[in-house]
Structure 1
Amino acid sequence: MRILTCLRARENRLTQRMASWESAWARTLLPSVEDAAEHTKLWWAAAALMASRGGWRGRRAAAAGIASMAVGQVLANGIAKQLIERRRPPKEWFPHDEVEERPESSSFPSGHTAAAVAFTAGILPIWPWAGAACAVPTVLVAVERVHDGAHYPSDVTAGAAIGLASAALIRVIPRLLAHP
């Protein structure tokens, strides 16, 4: 129990530190990233661009990214958030206005991070260059979720783990079906 109390206290301090991060570029960039990632718009746009401009590799990567993202969304938002109830970080920790627009759902896990990581991890083995390009906004989405008061770092970490597991599942299912 003592270890959990210590970990929780450290996470609270980290959350407060990230919330009070004063940076002009962060105040400009992170809200834009959040808007683009809302309802997975950013990832659908990336998939459309890959599918239309990337030939067979782009279409295959886009399909894998979307499938991975869908599984990640179901696991994070459809299952995990329903099983684990966790309050969002206290509003008092956040000195900026973004904290007022937080969802009412459970904080654990981060569905935005799960979708972002699942999409990126889904396309990475098929088209590494596109996966690397998508990794940049993926990291920004994860940082933004803590910075704006929607999540604790462990929520984001859990969302990332769900995203990675979703992409791995999408890669392994065809092999399992091909070899009974």
Structure 2
Amino acid sequence: MKSVDDPHEAERRLTRLMASCRHPLVRRARPVVGEAAEHTKVWWAIALALAAAGGSRGRRAATAGLAAMGAAELLSNGVIKPLLRRRRPPEELIPHDGPDDRPDSSSFPSGHTAAAAAFTTAVARIWPGAGALCAVPAVLIAAERVHSGAHYPSDVAAGAVVGAAGACLTRRLPGARLA
């Protein structure tokens, strides 16, 4: 038996705990959140809304968010995942109807979380109120990635760090600065 002091065992337990939530709201929301996160649909929709309704500030926020998201996805999926291969959480840790369509790619870091954190961070830098609203789906996406069995909590935490890095890398883009 592994010790609870073993960080890998602690993370496995946390994954099992997070995935075991059976609240009816979680069961109904998880597929919706997962679908919205696929192919960054939610962030493209929010960028469109910001650009359409937010005037020049909204257009700058949308541009910054999309640029940061692109940088974070490049870092996460193009650089880190190929270098640091990690298996997805095993199905026995996921006590609900089984993990949904888990990708074959490396689990570390969470690319969905990286995109969410990058977009949210970049938008918040330009329009703090809009960034606060973006934080809601970002947190839901991060939680969904663990609950669905696609990632360990540390994958999600690393994705958030990669997302923040993506936002920092794009900070100096011409349309992304506060004016």
TM-score (norm 1): 0.91
Instruction: Find the counterpart in structure 2 of residue 68 from structure 1.
Output: 68
Give the CA RMSD over aligned residues.
Answer: 1.4
Cα distance between partner residues in 2 of 1:156 and 1:103: 15
Q: Does 1:34 align with 2:34?
A: yes
From the two aligned structures, give the one with the greater helix fraction.
Answer: 1
CA deviation after TM superposition for structure 1 residue 23, in Å: 0.8
Residues 78-97 of structure 1 mapped to structure 2, 5 A cutoff: 78-97=78-97
Match of 1:178 in 2: none
> Is this contact kept in 1: 2:116–2:163, CA < 8 A?
yes
Question: Which residue type is aligned with residue 94 of structure 2?
Answer: F
Specify the alignment match of 2:177 in structure 1. Answer: none
Tell me which amino acid in the other structure corresponds to 1:28: R
Provide the rounded CA distance (Å) in 1 between the counterparts of 2:18 and 2:65. 29
Q: Does 1:135 align with 2:138?
A: no
Matches within 5 A, 1:122-161: 122-161=122-161
The CA deviation at 1:96 is 2.3
AA aligned opposite 1:140: L
How many Å apart are 1:54 and its aligned residue? 0.4
Indicate the residue corresponding to 1:177 in structure 2: none
Question: TM (normalized to structure 2)?
Answer: 0.92
Letter in 2 for 1:162: V
Shift of 1:97: 2.9
Equivalent position of 2:106 in the other structure: 106
Q: Residue 124 of structure 2 contacts residue 131 of structure 2 at CA under 8 Å; is this kept in 1?
A: yes
For 1:50 and 1:61, how far apart are their aligned partners in 2? 7
On the 8 A contact 2:16/2:95 being kept in 1, the answer is no
In structure 2, C-alpha distance between the alignment counterparts of 1:127 and 1:93, rounded to whole Å: 39
Q: Please, which runs of 5 or more residues in structure 2 have no aligned partner?
A: 175-179
- In structure 1, runs of 5+ residues without a counterpart are 175-180
Q: Aligned pair count?
A: 171
Instruction: Give the 4+ runs in structure 1 shifted more than 3 A.
Output: none
Counterpart AA for 1:166 = G
Could you tell me how far 1:98 is from its partner in structure 2?
5.0
Answer with 99-108 or 156-165: which moved more: 99-108
